[in-house]
Structure 1
């Protein structure tokens, strides 16, 4: 854990209160000391300086004269966020000799959620617990905080595994580049890869020395497909062209989730330069949703007039003449 320093109260006033510096632990865990001098003269609540742990701004409230012989300590979140901030915390009365302690064992126990501005959680202690630590009318409270993040998802774990290169047992050669991967992951995601890598064929023999050649595919397309199989998001650049090639690759390697994602993105990138090409692609791969989106774009006379001038439309006429009939029929009243 990292120290965020200390807040010192003396004479009922916080030292350096005018400057009130924000102290940053620079980590997801840390601790802060609240030092109170002249404890017997304290009549009201005490608030520490602001300190940062886990990227969040915190401060401590101490109520020394609660009813029933109890004292109350609160850990407060200064600013809220969209999602609740989850944290574990612990208040401990310490002696002077413990003040220089650099770290404490990991906090165990309940995880608290802090929602919104000034949200807080408290710990209530009997006064007798604190009084034995008061020496020369002074005491020290240490507050340990661990901000708990969401555990990584399985997709994030697989993506990290791919990027690290650990445990790879198959190498692909695509477009003059090589890509290392894990055959079990590919087999789990694709029936085509399962047949390719776990069969009596040469590629099915576990070996990192042989390279499986993938023809008729660009290296950038294979890289994006491989990343998607490991849970990575699709690249944003060159979406129109790249998504068309990925759409074909998804069909080739039986990746329905990738196919659906490409279809969704292609529907958003139908334009004058792409409408005819995407329509041919949708027809060849039996994608009715994508065809309907193309027909919707071509249903506008101005759009159709512009598309007719493109090379993609000439390709459509040559390779899929039946689509011309559909376009004409849809243009009729």
Structure 2
């Protein structure tokens, strides 16, 4: 593993590292494309009240033939994660082709020994001019951090490990990255050539029937099957769906990207971190299921699995059971399996759990089987 330098921040200002500090961590890997960079922050008490969304940016550093930087948000990068500290790795240059990188973020409680704690790993991501940064919005709760051993003498260090799966190479011909999604998204935004109209609630949406049919077997049947709709000037009415959910569904069809979260039902309570996204996904997943968009459905399942906790597990499990999301249901049951008897009893005493087991009795049987296999 190769050392990619350190960024030193004091009172929110980026400092140049001393030669002595740099020498402590210097080293060269014998092979491979593993690198790590340190963000050393001094004076936490003077930055912990920075406004939400404000960030500290580490210095630009080189790794694997590319330029990178770390960004740290003391009070979260977005409103939904205001109780958390957020950390990101960003690509600090323009690239012709995307770069696939595995990232891992951790605290180092003893810098000289490189002891890692609070590890947050992410699967490989494609860094490009369109997706320039990835990280952890919920790296650690601020309250938990301030009581931990990660904070010593008003200082702490975050380490970012990165494995660059695709290193740069000298080429004479550069093939530009695919911009198909960009063009299709432009088509969706401008409505040029749109030939089908939908009415959802009090809103109307124009789209292109060929694109919808290519992406969804349901739209294929509705628009080109024996019972096809929309062949006249009249709009197709979509029942039982909110307009912003249908718009997000169309956005996915044109871009193949996870739609951005939209709040449903007002603000979440302060203690319900992530509840807004769960509510949004509870609307989006059934819509994806309804129109047979399996990739979007799996994306929703993955996001929901990240929010499983004692307060939300019943809601998520009910959704998984209703829409036959096997992986998500398994994740919920595994979570319940490892809970204490007191916490499990609290979950099962709620009205939501009573309703779930009444409508889906097999869930209780599956949980009992899980508990019986518990060592």
TM-score (norm 1): 0.52
| 3-state secondary structure, aligned to 1:192 | helix
2:320 pairs with 1:282:
yes
Q: Secondary structure at the match of 1:173?
A: strand
TM-aligned CA distance change 1:177 to 1:187, over 3 Å? same
CA distance in 1, matches of 2:278, 2:331: 15
Cα gap change, 1:274 to 1:85, in 2 (>3 Å): closer
- 1:273–1:310 contact (8 Å) kept in structure 2: no
2:114 equivalent in structure 1: none
Q: Summarize deviations over 1:203-251 as a string: whole Å, max 9, x none.
A: 141x4x3110111112222111111111143213432122122222222
Give the alignment partner of residue 212 of structure 1, picking from 223, 226, 236: 236
Residues 84 and 217 (structure 1), Cα distance of their counterparts in 2 relative to 1, 3 Å cut? closer
The match for 1:269 is 307
CA contact (8 A) 1:274 1:312 kept: no
Q: What is the 5 A alignment of 1:130-141?
A: none
The counterpart of 2:202, out of the listed 176, 189, 192, is 176
Q: Which residue of 2 aligns with 1:186?
A: 212
Cα 1:311–1:218 change in 2 (3 A) is farther
Question: Does the C-alpha gap of structure 1 residues 264 and 308 become closer, same or farther in structure 2, counting only changes over 3 Å?
Answer: same
For the residues of structure 2 that align with 1:159 and 1:84, how far apart are their CA atoms? 22
Rounded to whole Å, the distance in 2 between the matches of 1:85 and 1:240 is 34
User: Secondary structure in 2 aligned to 1:296?
Assistant: helix
Secondary structure of the residue aligned to 2:229 is helix
The structure-2 alpha-carbon separation of the partners of 1:267 and 1:80, relative to structure 1 and needing over 3 Å to count, comes to: closer
**What is the match of residue 345 of structure 2?**
305
Displacement, 1:325?
2.2
| Superposition deviation, residue 169 in structure 1 | 1.1
Specify the alignment match of 1:234 in structure 2: 259
Counterpart position of 1:296: 334
Contact 2:197-2:230 within 8 A present in 1 as well: no
Rg: which structure is higher? 1
Matches within 5 A, 1:147-158: 150=176, 153-158=179-184
Q: Structure 1 stretches of 5 or more lacking a match?
A: 1-78, 87-147
Q: Which of 141, 166, 189 pairs up with 2:192?
A: 166
In structure 2, the CA distance between the partners of 1:316 and 1:167, relative to structure 1 (3 Å rule), is: same
Unaligned runs of 5+ in 2: 1-65, 69-90, 97-173, 263-275
Alignment partner, residue 257 of structure 1: 295
Distance 1:244 1:303, change over 3 A: farther
**Could you list the per-position Cα deviations for residues 16-74 of structure 1 after superposition, in whole angstroms to 9, with x for gaps in the alignment?**
xxxxxxxxxxxxxxxxxxxxxxxxxxxxxxxxxxxxxxxxxxxxxxxxxxxxxxxxxxx
CA shift in 2, pair 1:175/1:269, >3 Å: farther
How many matched pairs? 193
TM-score (norm 2): 0.46
Mapping of residues 1-333 of structure 1, within 5 Å: 82=91, 83=93, 150=176, 153-201=179-227, 203-205=229-231, 207=232, 209-231=233-255, 232-237=257-262, 238-299=276-337, 300-301=339-340, 302-332=342-372, 333=374
Taking the aligned partners of 1:328 and 1:220, their CA distance within structure 2 comes to 39
**Structure 2 counterpart of 1:11:** none
Native 8 Å contact 2:223 2:229 kept in 1: yes
Instruction: Give the root-mean-square deviation of aligned CA atoms.
Output: 2.7
Q: CA deviation at 1:328?
A: 2.7
Q: Would the aligned equivalents of 1:273 and 1:312 in 2 still touch at CA under 8 Å?
A: no
CA apart distance, 1:152: 5.8
CA distance in 2 between counterparts of 1:316 and 1:297 reads: 17
How far apart, in 1, do the equivalents of 2:206 and 2:288 lie? 19
